[in-house]
Amino acid sequence: MQVQVVDYRAEDAAKKFVESLRHTGFGVLTNHPIQQALVEKIYRDWYEFFCHGDTQAFAFDPEKQDGYFAPEISETAKGHSKKDIKEYYHVYPWGRIPAQLKNDILRYYDMASELASELLDWVEQYSPAEVAKHYAEPLSNMIKDTPNTLLRILHYPPFTGSEEPGAIRAAAHEDINLLTILPAANEPGLQVQAKDGAWLDVPSDFGHLIVNIGDMLQEASQGYFPSTSHRVINPTGESSNKSRISLPLFLHPRSEVVLSEKHTQASYLLERLKELGVK
């Protein structure tokens, strides 16, 4: 099993990329249209906010789920008992965003959402007919005008030595949503689980764009596209003193979109958030 690094501009990009998604749940793009300078600026500015900003003034709203999630209330992955070692902020265009960070993060949100829509068209194009016939509507249509797509800015703080034994930056989990788009973080650590159980590093050179299948696309494709387990391991050596910032965009269909006979987006999300203990 290999996560493919695919040149977005190559002629056979869509085919290769969807093959990688099918076999590993992950695909990685180079030469993609997301501006790296913007990503780097977001990393710097949000690092500043996490370290010196008035995070408590933006404490998350339990109902709407926008805002800042402190390390103490941060999520526990499904099936795990220890909290992840991280803090994060949930950006929705309709939600609260610190004024000085608003322009850049919403520009990124729009840019990444637009690319995501194209990637969903690629997935649709290379879905076998017997899989695609179960899509209740075109995949890219499912996210059109959606208020549910979530941009999460994650800060994994430097290690101090007082971390809870056994806890890791992000315990093994699957994403809940349709597709996740993630620029390579400023520090390594992201791994995906192969079919034989082994953990493999996801190619994460600076500038790479990492894309993975979430449970909702697995559900909609009746398992054809696998939502694979991934995790963020703890830093060692010099890296232990460094923060890690990452920026996953979780694409969510509109609430009423039908995923399968059993679930709409809304019913599926509610079930999963309850499992995570954040709802």
| Binding stretches for ligand AKG (CB under 6 A) | 152, 154, 170, 175, 182, 185, 190, 230, 232, 246, 248
Which lies closer to Fe ion via its Cβ, residue 90 or residue 96? 90
Give the C-alpha distances (Å, rounded to integers) separating 115 from 119, 123, 152, 211.
Answer: 6, 13, 17, 11
Residues 6+ apart with CB under 8 A from 154: 86, 87, 88, 244, 245, 246, 247, 248
As measured in angstroms, the least distance from the Cβ of 229 to ligand AKG is 10
Is 84 an interacting residue with respect to Fe ion (CB under 5 A)? no
Rounded to whole angstroms, the Cα distance separating 211 from 165 reads 31
- Nearer to Fe ion among residue 232 and residue 259 (C-beta): 232
Choose one: 31-39, 67-75, 159-167, 173-181; the region binding Fe ion (CB under 5 A).
173-181
Least Å distance, CB 190 to ligand AKG, is 4
Q: Sign of dihedral through CA atoms 32, 34, 40, 43?
A: negative
Nearest distance from residue 218's CB to Fe ion, in Å?
A: 13
Tell me the residue nearest to ligand AKG as measured from the CB. Answer: 246
Helix (H) or strand (E) holding 6, with range, is: strand 5-7
Closest approach, Cβ 84 to ligand AKG, in A, equals 9
| 154 binding partner (options Fe ion, ligand AKG, none; Cβ < 5 to 8 Å by kind) | ligand AKG
- The conformational region for residue 81 under phi > 0 = left, psi -120 to 50 = alpha, else beta, is alpha
Q: Binding partner of residue 193 among Fe ion, ligand AKG, none, CB under 5 to 8 Å per kind? A: none
What's the full length of the chain, in residues? 279
CA distances to 64, 101, 148, 226 from 53, in Å: 22, 11, 26, 38
Q: Which does 232 bind (CB under 5 to 8 A by kind): Fe ion, ligand AKG, none?
A: ligand AKG
Selected from 66, 84, 175, 215, the binder of Fe ion by CB under 5 A is 175
Interacting residues with Fe ion between 192 and 251 (CB under 5 A):
none
